[in-house]
Structure 1
Amino acid sequence: MTRIIESLSQIGADYDALFCDLWGCLHNGKTAYPAAIAALQQFRRGGGKVCLMTNAPRPNPMVERQLNRMGVPTDAWDIIVSSGDATQAAMLDGAVGRRVWHLGPDKDDSFFELIPPGYETAEPITRVALDKAEGIICTGLFDDLTEAPEDYRTRLTQAQALGLPMLSANPDIVVDMGEDRIYCAGALAELYEELGGKVSSFGKPHAPIYDRARNLLGLGSGARYLAVGDGINTDILGATREGIDALFVTGGLAADSMGPDVENPEPERLTEWLATRQQDPKYSIGRLR
């Protein structure tokens, strides 16, 4: 049964590094959480390493810029690893061909324009219309403030009929941006699979993003990791698959199910909610602090 804790400091000394989620844990898409920042800073002062591990579909330099705009200081983390990083590498390796249909907003153009180290001489990727493509790169909805996955059923049915494989740059189904809940690339990937399409994902809960994080941290095989996140099917499931402990932040996506006080989940509600999802994170906390 999960243990509800009051602060990261209660357990931080037991771990060498954190894989910390962003949306719902460190910020809400618009505003950073000061208590979460302080918790990460304290963990690092104690000698721990912090990997900000996000399912954001953008390369990590763009994630860092977003954190800078929110006022997240650089002493709160050591490295950033994004789903966009891992997916971008797969794209440049030719996982869905060289001519791709980009399903996503203009703000994700950096996914194609920021070439990561080691790929400077890779054959270029060309964005083309759906009927000219060899594959699909999905970074999200064209307009996530007004659209829903069902708006894409016709186009995705056409893509499936053409036999186009999809790379999903963000396995998340939804995230909360301030007070608004918006759909992510994972929701489109889910619909595409329902239609019979082939989808590959590289962010949480899939192994490549964890492998990348461990390699970059370079702590060795005996390192003790703690995954921190509010996504039961991404952060917590990923930790379970990787065999590492998890700290479930109940005040994120699941906040409405945990009682009236977002900082203090009701134990009975939490236990029942986790049981229905067949997950049992070692620890839970209302908000990261």
Structure 2
Amino acid sequence: MTASLRPALVDGLQPLADRYDLVLCDVWGVLHNGIKAYETASEALTRFRERGGRVVLVSNAPRPGASVGTQLDGFGVPRTAYDAIVTSGDLTRLAIEERVDKVVHHIGPARDMPIYDGLNIRFGSIAEAEYVVCSGFENDELETVEDYRPRLEAMLKRELWMVCANPDLIVERGNTIVPCAGALGVAYEEMGGDVYYAGKPHAPIYDRAIAVAAALNGRPIAKERVLAIGDAIRTDIAGAAGFGIDSLLIARGIHAEELKAHHGPLVSEHVQDWVDLQPVKPQAITGVLSWAA
């Protein structure tokens, strides 16, 4: 990759704002860290909307968008920062609705059960189930993929289809990295299992997010006027590249250790060197999401 093709290092969203009508923004790692909100991120998105842009939050949270909105309220993320929320939980629920007459085996914590709210669902063991919904680890602070290996083997023996409600492999919770449902999805797929990933980096969640924004605008939005913002190469940046839209990488997120981006919003040339080694590249990089440095 030549220097001319390298991503631009930008001081916030402002230098890019005029190029785009719609921002598809990641949530965890960009707007908050699982414990507290990042005020500068909310301010940047609010400023973008005040200029006439739309913001749709696109999250791999395995819960419906309304549930995520309530969580964001608790963190202190203002509603002025976004127009709508689309989650992998929303797409998971659609998959469940299409199979409402089938027995499901759920893997994940109780906090993710809102994806079933209002549906007459029959839950069962692996031996009884017709498919599996995996929303995460039951205890992501203690468990590893290996703890689930016997369950995955039992699922594979019955050739059960898995809906992975959160394709993320890991997420940052405060200063701790914890595993997500995507780690179990990848493990099951590597064993030969059939997995449907409901969120980023896969196209359906982008189709839905852009459709939501277009409905709000009352007109279609061209892909070249869409910017994805996120902190994960594998999901946010790869998803944007695969869908054909531009992206802005937040350096001080889950890759902060690799990028040596722990201190302050500015990023260094080391970030460029790291990005050179990645299979996909963003169009721009900033330290943390802000309007301007």
- Is TM > 0.5 for Structure 1 vs Structure 2? yes
SS at match of 2:285: strand
| Residue 53 of structure 2 corresponds to residue 52 of structure 1 | no
Aligned residue in 2 for 1:120: none
Compute the displacement of 1:114 (Å).
Answer: 4.7
Among the aligned pairs, what percent are the same residue?
40
Q: Does 1:99 align with 2:95?
A: no
CA shift digits 1:98-152 (9 cap, x unpaired):
101000111111111155xxxxxxxx33111111101100000111111111110
Per-residue deviation, 1:280: 1.7
After superposing the two structures, state which structure 1 stretch, 155-164 or 220-229, moved more. 220-229
3-state SS of 1:109 partner: helix
Q: How far is the alpha carbon of 1:273 from its aligned partner?
A: 1.6
How far did 1:189 drift? 0.3
Matched-pair contact (CA < 8 Å) for 1:135–1:164: yes
Q: How many residues align?
A: 279
Alignment CA distance shift 1:72-1:222 (3 Å): same
Distance in 1 separating the partners of 2:61 and 2:264 = 24
Residue 44 (structure 1) shift = 0.5
Conserved? CA contact 1:149–1:191, under 8 Å: yes
Question: Which residue of the partner structure matches residue 229 of structure 1?
Answer: 230
Shift of 1:13: 1.3
Contact 1:92 1:125 (C-alpha < 8 Å) held by counterparts: no
Q: How does 1:54-203 map to 2 (within 5 A)?
A: 54-94=59-99, 98-114=102-118, 124-203=120-199
C-alpha contact 2:252 2:265 (8 A) present in aligned 1: yes
Match of 1:279 in 2: 280
- The alignment's TM-score, normalised by the length of structure 1, stands at 0.93
4+ aligned runs moved over 6 Å, structure 1: none
Q: Secondary structure at the match of 1:247?
A: strand
Q: Secondary structure at the match of 2:257?
A: helix
Would the aligned equivalents of 2:210 and 2:221 in 1 still touch at CA under 8 Å? no
Structure-1 separation of matches of 2:87 and 2:8: 28
Shift in Å at residue 261 of structure 1? 2.9
TM-score (norm 2): 0.92
